[in-house]
A and B are shown apart, each in its own frame.
Chain A
Amino acid sequence: MAIQNQPDRHEPSYTEGEARSLDTGEREYMLDVRTQDMELNMGPQHPATHGVMRILIRADGELCTGAQPHLGYLHRCAEKIGESVEWLQYLPYTDRYDYLAAMNNNLGYSMAVEKVMGLEIPRRALMLRTICAELNRIGSHLIAYGTYGLDLGAFTPFLYAFREREWMMALFEKICGARLTYSYIRIGGVFNDAPPGWLEEVMRFCDVFDVKWQEYVDLLMNNHLFVGRTADVGVIPKEMAIDFGLSGPMVRGSGIDWDIRRDMPYELYGEICADGAFEVPLGTGAKGTLGDCWDRFYVRVMEMRESIKIVRWCLANIEPGPVLADIPKTLRVPPGEAYVAIENPRGELGHYVVSDGSKVAVRCRVRGPSFSNISVTEALLPGTLVADAVAIIGSTDIVVGETDR
């Protein structure tokens, strides 16, 4: 039976539960052998859900006919806490929603508060912030790379990715003392200056990483079996990507040229971009269809190298100086509000803060990229195999801490 692509796959049909349309007589000729659809409860404890998420899959044998993600198992009231603790005290909580890219969360929150305050950040602090955010992007993409391999049954890439991530975490351990929840980038700059020798070690890390990166590509990304599992699977057309509010590697995998670092530059990224130090990798459909799982994976792997370029640029241009703006010990933010979107490894991470001039925020809203990105699974899963469901969920690279917050 030849299965043809529908020419325009972004027709509204994807928003409906596909399973229901099956009951309306489209396979009457199969009724004699028809069996009952099975409800498969993937999660909350399942190796492929990357945390505690639950996806209810309706399956006809190996074929998914419907899927429904259930969120909220990791809900920790992060936004409400933001309204009850002081400005600086909320910083450790930002570490904890996207715990794989805590530096980026720190950065987003700090930038939002700084925007309300109208603070001027010292240049060295900006450099350190950029280095840390990009190193953390590498670390996060390494996890995405490794766990995607795990989802597809390849164990070794995961350990290789963790080997480099371990070094990255050791670097962070040296600069701020923590390995996962850094709380390093703070309102007004960063907490500490880099210890002596740290920047040189980052340089060494970049040099080694370039070599290892080629191994990642050879071992997993270009492996024929891996390509077979990911190419043409979970295709998100451009319009669909926009409709679902996807961001980050998810839209770039669909070929949409959108990167907040370049298109809405913040901090030093405008300068870096003007220098041509990094480019935005896009999915091309090289191995299958544009916007498939392989393209998203490809974008992540290529972004690691681009991040290395940004770090190198910062290392070349960093100069001594203060790392913290002149701010009072007890932070009082003038009345006002601000929304700041930054490019998290997973997409657009937005922080919206409202201040009434007191020590505590009135509203602290987070727009998490994982939350939007996971919503697409419901539309993508029907019609795929159960094994593909795992591949698609893995390719969204969600962090459940962030979807639930």
Chain B
Amino acid sequence: MGVGLQGMARPAARAVSGRALLWRELTGRRSRVFYAFIAPWVLGFLIYTAWPMVLSAYYSLTSYKIGLSPTWVGFSNYDYLVRHDLNFSDAVRNSVTYTAFSVPMGIALSLLLALLLNNQRVRGLTFWRALFYMPTVLPAVASSYMFAWMFSYRYGPVTSALRFVGANPINFFTTDYAHWVIILFALWGFGPGMIIFLAGLQGIPRVLYEAAAIDGAGRLRSFYHITLPGVSPVIFFQFTNGLIGAMQTFQVAWFLEAYSLPKSRSVFLGTLVYSNAFGGTGIGTAGGMGYASAVAWVIFAIVLVITAMNFWGARFWVHYEQI
């Protein structure tokens, strides 16, 4: 029995001492220095991220206008949103369409341009990089006005070009083409993506291509078996980021609305959050901060589901190791 006790006590003692060790490390001098440095961030995380998330989840279950106190309404915001709010179904359709086109097309465009520039015989790399990056540094208000002006129904250069080739002018803002103007605007910002791809391409060892060439692989095969796997982490990164950004699109739609876009085409999930929270014209019986919070959580849910799927799928096509 004594032996048994001893035998049992030992691992327990070891576990305690392990825990004690961890505790000592957590409260030790080194850690305390770390805490001191990290404290502002932890505070910021609590004040500006964690607690607001809790509040936002709570608000989404209330009817809440600023200045008044929130009243509990259960899930009726979500219920109204999904079943009765026509703006919501338009917004989901518009945001999802926009994301589904702009993100993959943006990735393809930036990868293509990066491939072209990743050629030692192409001169002026710095110049091209800066030029393609440039549209994204311009203020969105200014650049969207400039971009929209290109597509102005009566006097825009695109209309002039159409007239020049004998085609009928298209009113880009009151027809379904409005989506394409917004998507094209997003593509205009392909520069940063291209630069990341360039760095990714430069990270692929040349040896791989040389070996493939010796083995008789053509350009297409090299591209498919070396280049694509090589930049797959970058594609993954851009997809994840692009998705979060695109699902929250606000500015472009908001500015282009001034170009008399009909609401069914200009309402996005982002603009729906804004117009319910601050627009003053709450929709139907809902509206206000509570309703807007519910829309925000729907955006979050969509992003979360797609991102989770993306992370899960990554194991099949994203290659992190480099041989």
A binds B: no
- Could you list which residues of chain B lie within 8 angstroms of chain A, going by C-beta atoms? none
